[in-house]
Chains A and B, each alone.
Chain A
Amino acid sequence: MNLTSLTFLLFCIITLFFYFIVPKKIQWYVLLIASTIFIFYGNLTKFTFLEVLLVLLASYFGARKIDSEKGKKRTYYLLGSIGVILGILFLLKYTNLLLVTFNHLFNLFKVKYKFKLITRNSPIGISYYSLIMIGYLIDVYRGGCKAEKNIFKVALFMYYFPIIPSGPFTRYNDMKKELYEPHKFNYDALCSGLVRCLWGLFKIFVISQRISIFVNTVYGDLVTYNGFFTVIAALLFTLQLYTNFSGSIDIIMGVSEIMGINLPENFNAPFLSRTITELWRNWHITLGAWLKDYIFYPLLKSNFMQSLNKKYRKKIGRKKAKKIPLYLSMLIMWILIGVWHGGTYNFIIATGLLQFIYIFLEDVLAPVMDKINRKLKINPYRKTYRLFQMIRTYVLFSFSLIFFRAPSIKKAIDIIKSIFVWNPWVLTDNSTLFKAGLNIHNFRVLIIAIIVLFIIEKRIKKGNVRKQLFRQNIVVRWALIYMLILSIIVFGCYGVGFDPASFIYRQF
């Protein structure tokens, strides 16, 4: 079920209606029923049902056993249940990655055999709920939370419907209050949640969908569109992805807010960041937090990494030695982020290796940059320098996303090659640019919408914009809300050829 479809709207209205009229004690059952319908909607097969059930059973019984057993048995139960969850995830999502690798190897050694790739429906949200449940099991193991005794509560925590399409990642300790405790209907929360949903729709329909027309046209025909067309498409795709992903998160958070359920924020104006390191602190925040707590920290603190640290301390000094386990753990983590994003190599490069290289270089080159700045008498605290850093970060990130957008590494290289065609007249003559799907009117709307986006993002970073909105007097407040609604209706892209169903982050 698509977050921007009328079906989803109807689904939410019915869910909200029952959520608020049933006795408070059984309120969360409404959510469980709704979530169960949502996760299997249009995708109920024996396979998907069994997969969801297996993950639920492994998490439930695994956590209970970890809680009740002692000593090494706890570890076995932890590893066993994580094994089941990861096993299913890998079987469904990464078998093809493995098969493609084998096919490449066969090719390399001139073996004439080729594996056929498999196509099988996996339940939606599998990448999200699998990691969420692994986090839950580890939390129970570490003593951070108690195992839930009611399996239906575990089920609701696992696939609470708004988070199924694209996150955010949640923690049991934070969610148990939100999900199972009764919530009264609150008119202010309704208004505030709706405005957040509208803002999400604005991002998706006015910006993301509009950009997608241009990007699809350019990337679809690199012979006709190259040079500056490719540069603009690559730069715009970053915004397309961001507005699409963060827009759906806005809808998810808005719907939850109406029900009184608070979810962790997933974005914090990432493009106002001055480095890639900072950008990732503000982009897909809950994924970063998950990886930090369950992979990065344990890895970095492991005996192996610490012994590496000690081993090199005498040879290269303490400052440098501590960087070795750091970079190694980071490399492993970034490859895993790449793998999580998709079962193909272009994702491992786009959201893995390239990001690692950027962050690594930022860290290594920081002293050099400081020196250069001092020599050139550049004040790094100046606004213009900050702006330069933001633009640099945006461009670097956009470059990596070429591999994200392209279906394969080969195609990504074609796109990069097509940049090196010198055609600056595209920008100066009055018509060429507007032939790639977006006419001059659409470009104007897009530019204004992007400016609005950045102004609002900057304000959101400083404080709660919706609270400020609701503090305004009735005329200003409603004028702004109507403007938002009207702009979505008038400037949204819904026409033929646009497929609002294709949420970029949904496939993960």
Chain B
Amino acid sequence: MKDEQIYERINGVFRDIFDDDSITVNANTTADDIEDWDSLEHINLIVAIEEEFGMKFNMNEVTTMKNVGEMVEIIKVRATK
């Protein structure tokens, strides 16, 4: 899968979860950049991404991922859909 395709699908998940069609993420996007991305929404986002790509993040990744770029690197390796 190409990076652009992954980002396109991730954007869809973000827009859906945060209910905001203007969101466009890139590798450097962090929780600070999106107002509603707090610790309560974090897991919802993670689970939605997991469902979208048919893969799992481990707990260490869930708690230490620093930005969307790191998320995409993991998706590239593990995505099944």
Identify the A interface with B (CB < 8 A).
Answer: 139, 142-144, 292-293, 296-298, 300-301, 306, 309, 322, 326
A293 vs B40: C-alpha distance when bound (angstroms): 12
Q: Does B42 interact with chain A (Cβ within 8 Å)? A: yes
Q: Does B43 interact with chain A (Cβ within 8 Å)? A: yes
Which A residues are in CB contact (< 8 Å) with B60? 139, 142-144
- Residue-wise, chain B 30-60 has the 8 Å CB interface mask toward A (1 for contact) of 0000000001101110110000000000111
Which A residues are in CB contact (< 8 Å) with B42? 297
Q: Which of B53-72 contact A (CB under 8 A)?
A: 58-60, 62-64
- Closest 8 pairs (CB-CB, A-B): A142-B60, A144-B60, A300-B43, A293-B63, A142-B59, A301-B43, A143-B60, A292-B39
A492 vs B58: C-alpha distance when bound (angstroms): 51
A121 vs B42: C-alpha distance when bound (angstroms): 41
A306 vs B44: C-alpha distance when bound (angstroms): 9
> What is the number of contacts between chain A and chain B, taking CB atoms within 8 Å?
30
Which B residues are in CB contact (< 8 Å) with A296? 39
Contact A301 B40, beta carbon cutoff 8 Å: no
Contact A301 B62, beta carbon cutoff 8 Å: yes
Which A residues are in CB contact (< 8 Å) with B43? 297, 300-301
Q: Which of A292, A301, A309, A322 contacts B46 (CB 8 A)?
A: A301
A301 vs B39: C-alpha distance when bound (angstroms): 12
Determine how close the nearest CB of chain A comes to the CB of B65; give it in whole angstroms.
12
A298 vs B59: C-alpha distance when bound (angstroms): 7
Determine how close the nearest CB of chain A comes to the CB of B59; give it in whole angstroms.
5
Contact A143 B58, beta carbon cutoff 8 Å: yes
Which A residues are in CB contact (< 8 Å) with B64? 144
| Interface pairs (8), CB distance under 8 Å | A144-B60, A144-B63, A144-B64, A293-B63, A297-B59, A301-B62, A309-B47, A326-B44
Residue with the highest number of chain A CB atoms closer than 10 Å, among B40, B42, B43, B44 = B43
